[in-house]
Chain A
Amino acid sequence: MPTGLFHTTYEDDEKIFHTLWVKIWMGGLIFFLFAGLPFVASPLSSFFGFSVQHMANMIGIFIIGAHGLNLLTGCTGQISLGHGAFMGVGAFTSAILFMKAGWPFWFSLPAAGLVTAGVGMIFGIPSLRLRGLYLAIATMAAQFIIDYAMRNWTSLTGGSGGLNVDRPSIFGFALDTDLRYYYLILVVVILSTIFLKNLLRTKTGRAMVAIRDRYLSAEIMGVNLFKYRLLAFGISSFYVGVAGGLFAHYNLVVSDEHFTMWLSIQYLAMVIIGGLGHVLGGIFGTIFMVLLPELLRIPTEVLSNTYPNIFAIFGTLRELVFGLVIILFLIFEPDGLAARWHTIRAYWKLWPFSY
């Protein structure tokens, strides 16, 4: 806790940001994300060799989904291996409503969230009886069922060829470039983060964390386990459905290939590496998981220029290092990047007089 903090009302003490400095930092960060990043994106792109703007957009989309899974797995303690498919439900819903039914984007995106929330809640019903690994298997079934439907319901989803989707326009403002779309994603990311943070400090969030920590005693306190488990599945799927909708209009084509088991596992890796149950965890984990493969591409390419043979032999070098880094992270930082962030912050708060 920072020194010199003298709250005189309970309302002050309930605030998220306690000191002026933190507020200034947050304001600065948001200002940079809105006004600064677009300018540094292109020089950085030529430096790294990949499109930084594109990466920022992908990170933004996946942060929303990771927030959703973090609410379910990190906060409520219900594991899900179906979030990749749920994202697909959101993507196809928005794409179909926008392209085939001609709905405006403003309606098709929330509708994607709502439809996904409904689907997620149906597949969340087993959570009343199943826990841990058994729930993981049950949600994995959701992944395969939805995957199958996406591939074979050709009249609706276009089958293996997928659907072509247009970039939307809002109030006559066409979101046709990566940069323009970035602003839409950024706004949704900020709103979803605020909502999650607020949810966790009020009645619903407390009930969910209580279910994670000790569900029997939560029930005695009057928490309706079924209602809150389903609600967690619903809100979580809403988040990931919105992420899917944003992805569909950004990627311009949706097919079942994007939403496989691999994506579900990636989502799980994001929240575990970032830190289960921390709002920051979803953000850090997503940045890590999306950026790391791209950053690993740089040394691989350099090496392949110098030693072409190595690249031929170790074609999967990038994947190997990727897996290794994740394993090392889990061993040395099992509480995730968010916990590390808190440790670093606590260290600097009193530096150099930390005793």
Chain B
Amino acid sequence: MAQLEIQDLRLSFGGLTALNGISLSVDTGEIFAIIGPNGAGKTCILNCICRFYHPEEGRITFEGKEITNFAPHKIARLGIARTFQNIELFQGMTVLDNIKLGAHVHLQSGFLAGGIYWGKARKEETRLRREVEEQIIDLLEIQAIRKKIVGTLPYGLQKRVELARALAMRPKILLLDEPMAGMNLEETEDMARFILDINEERGVTIVLIEHDMGVVMDVSDRVFVLDFGTKIAEGPPEEIQNNERVINAYLGGSDAAFSKLGM
């Protein structure tokens, strides 16, 4: 069953068409990769889902509910989480606080209860701490840095903290915007492992935008190829690797491109 469905999405900035009638559907529990050259409109799709951008046409439905006109902060309540291409962490807060903020929509206590810090609010905070420690920090192996200020951490770890923060939202679907960008081989492998773990153990649907073709072809169930705001192919990785149009349009058809696709 399609969990996230996008129909005929159109978006333009002035005269520039960023998305030209995109339709796609993501099934529950799969890893769905979106690839394409720079400026193809991959991040625009995520920004439309998160309501940062307002598409001129088209419908976005999540679990049968149309979300095209939702306010951005209400998207989180539905179980849609995302990470960003350029890290968007709260630089002045500790790693723990960053992750805890991810659970914002799941906390009930208001500011009065929080300020008095007694009874329900206190229990809730302790429960949250336990959840964050045992289910997220352990999984992503960031125990050693949990009390550090995020701004002081190296890039690779910040990416990991951002994933942790998205996980604290208890998402049903996780939109990852280039989670491996700028990482070395070891960090990339770690991140790929985490993505597979999250998908398999928690059944979280994953939408992945990534330029590392090796990773994309290895982990994803289906790949969606985008060029200049239009879809040029969609299908399982093996099919995409052999698709004539993808090779020509996206990779220029050179030999180097073939090896980049892992062939």
Contacts and interface: CB of A to CB of B under 8 A. Distances in A.
User: Contact residue range for chain B?
Assistant: 35 or more
Contact of B129 (A13, A195, A212): A13
B84 interface: yes
Interface of A is mostly: helix
B114 A277 contact: no
A222 B105 contact: yes
Given A199-B114, A213-B91, A220 B82 contact: yes
B92 A203 contact: no
User: Contact residue range for chain A?
Assistant: 20 to 34
B93 interface: yes
Contacts of B125: 14, 201-202
A211 to B, nearest CB: 9
Interface of B: 50, 52, 71-77, 82, 84, 88-93, 97, 100-102, 104-105, 107, 109-111, 113-117, 121, 125-126, 129-130, 133, 147, 165, 169
A212 B91 CA distance: 10
Interface of A: 1, 10-11, 13-14, 195-196, 198-199, 201-207, 209-210, 212-214, 216-225, 231, 235, 277
Contacts of A14: 125-126, 129
Question: Which 8 residue pairs spanning A and B have beta carbons closest together?
Answer: A222-B76, A202-B114, A213-B90, A222-B105, A217-B88, A198-B117, A204-B111, A195-B115
Given A201-B125, A212-B92, A222-B74, 4 more contacts: A198-B117, A199-B114, A202-B125, A204-B114
**Most chain-B CB neighbours within 10 Å: which of A10, A207, A216, A221?**
A221
B103 to A, nearest CB: 9
A118 B193 CA distance: 51
A206 B107 CA distance: 12
Contacts of A204: 110-111, 114-115
Contact of B114 (A1, A11, A198, A223): A198
A217 B93 contact: no
15 contacts: A10-B133, A14-B129, A195-B115, A198-B116, A199-B111, A203-B104, A204-B110, A204-B114, A205-B114, A220-B82, A221-B169, A222-B73, A223-B73, A223-B104, A224-B73
Contacts of A1: 147
B81 to A, nearest CB: 8
B101 A206 contact: yes
B97 A209 contact: yes
Contacts of A221: 76, 101-102, 104-105, 165, 169
A201 B128 CA distance: 12
